[in-house]
Chain A
């Protein structure tokens, strides 16, 4: 799932915390790893803090397909830097994974005119020189 789009700007450096190791390990290997409670047969967002089915505070992890559809989006215009340069607009989105959970994410390689509910998307990973990989989505 390597990407052919230019690296997005202005994301900064991502650092893991004690809850993110399986997710960022997966992202480093171009895999989308999210939460899955095997007991309840429920897929959950990677940042889920418990399983709503059984209350487990440590639902397991599993590989998601990386396919999604667009739920909604916003184009955010950054604040001018001190030198007056304005960062390019970023397309931020809520996407629905085929497994069901929604993720807040950033879209790359998408034309404004193509944005619509249900637009098929696929996960892409950027590997910056410093910090953890970025999970982004582009049109499938």
Chain B
């Protein structure tokens, strides 16, 4: 017996204005329940996570009018949260603590007439304390911290900007096939190289989008899912990795991620190895995050993520179709729900023009902080062990 994802709900994503994060979250849960063919009253668990706006929390249950829940909490390990929510929901279903759990993420950082970058950028004339000093000196956005990580990998292993660009290009090739993606115009490596610097070595086309919206999934038992409206997406395994890189001598910051721990844990639970994975949905806040995650999962050796990306393996027609919906770079930026939602679509065979040729084993990653938190899910259209 395994748990399964029985419903997927996605609001409009992108420049979606006029709805609060709480309203968007409620809409996504309603859509997910309807997708599964469930009434809201059949939910007995709700796991809530939010983006930078800090809303919604567990009051979402009241917004939805949910009563007599057996499981209700807010979860946060930043970009790793979606995987963490599904694993908590799956464990709750398997233990009998709950039967039907909605997991939702919502955020609305974009405001009308404000650039996407400014939603995640700090600026001020006066700066306070140590945190302010770091920002004042110029480390004013997450971009700069990921740039430090990527540069360290480049200096250590010879990774190049063109190799990062290969990920931007292949991800856009997938996005061109996805009607839900925000950026569908094809790009070339030359476009990537010509795009403006955000924080060297990261070009604009190395960085994810910013989106408003919400996504929810419904987790239940495989048996129950089999009786519901849509093909079940079976959850074979899960894991987390939180390396706790200290900022001091000997730190592996920028060189390894929690995927080196969460991957083997999830794959062991699922009874698979990296060679069994047909499709990857990797958290891609930056092209670099994909590159280093591929290494840590064991799809290539440490330091060879650049060559692997450059080989074309990740693109349509490649050996390891990766971020088949366009990811967060070109699709939509819903933190860990971006890779998870595309995994559900691929496992159901609903990918249309972008459907991967094989979908028996799909690896989903989440990444939070500056490569501080990682989660992994292994999902499949088939029952575990079948």
Q: Quick one: given A92-B138, A92-B139, A101-B247, are A46 and B200 in contact (CB under 8 Å)?
A: no
Which DSSP category, helix, strand, loop or mixed, fits chain B's interface? mixed
Q: Quick one: given A96-B249, A100-B249, are A74 and B134 in contact (CB under 8 Å)?
A: no
What B residues does A102 contact at CB under 8 A?
247-249, 251
| Docked CA distance A106–B136 (Å) | 10
Are B137 and A106 neighbours in the complex by a CB distance under 8 Å? yes
What B residues does A46 contact at CB under 8 A?
130
A57-76 vs B: 1/0 string, CB under 8 Å? 00000000000000111111
The yes or no answer to B197 lying at the interface (CB within 8 A) is yes
What A residues does B247 contact at CB under 8 A?
45, 94, 101-103
Which DSSP category, helix, strand, loop or mixed, fits chain A's interface? strand
Q: How many A-B residue pairs have CB under 8 A?
A: 112
Partner of A117 from B126, B156, B197, B198 at Cβ < 8 Å:
B156
What A residues does B197 contact at CB under 8 A?
75, 77
What B residues does A11 contact at CB under 8 A?
136-138
Are B248 and A101 neighbours in the complex by a CB distance under 8 Å? yes
What A residues does B251 contact at CB under 8 A?
102
Smallest CB separation, B231 vs chain A (Å): 45
Partner of A76 from B149, B155, B199, B248 at Cβ < 8 Å:
B199
> Of A10, A72, A75, A77, which is in contact with the most chain B CB atoms at under 10 Å from its CB?
A72
Are B126 and A74 neighbours in the complex by a CB distance under 8 Å? no
| Docked CA distance A75–B147 (Å) | 9
The yes or no answer to A53 lying at the interface (CB within 8 A) is no
Smallest CB separation, A133 vs chain B (Å): 10
CB-based nearest A residue for B125: A12
Residues of B360-376 contacting chain A, CB below 8 A: none
The yes or no answer to A122 lying at the interface (CB within 8 A) is no
What A residues does B134 contact at CB under 8 A?
104
Partner of A12 from B127, B148, B199, B202 at Cβ < 8 Å:
B127
Are A72 and B151 neighbours in the complex by a CB distance under 8 Å? yes
Q: Quick one: given A12-B124, A14-B136, A72-B254, are A20 and B249 in contact (CB under 8 Å)?
A: no
> Of A75, A76, A90, A134, which is in contact with the most chain B CB atoms at under 10 Å from its CB?
A76
Partner of B137 from A17, A77, A104, A131 at Cβ < 8 Å:
A104
Are A76 and B138 neighbours in the complex by a CB distance under 8 Å? yes
What A residues does B253 contact at CB under 8 A?
71, 94
Report which A residues bind B (CB closer than 8 A): 10-17, 19-20, 23, 45-47, 52, 71-77, 90, 92-94, 96, 100-106, 116-117, 131-132, 134-136
Report which B residues bind A (CB closer than 8 A): 124-134, 136-139, 144, 147-149, 151-152, 155-156, 196-202, 246-249, 251, 253-254
Across the A-B interface, the 8 shortest Cβ-Cβ residue pairs: A74-B147, A17-B129, A47-B130, A72-B152, A102-B247, A75-B200, A106-B137, A90-B138
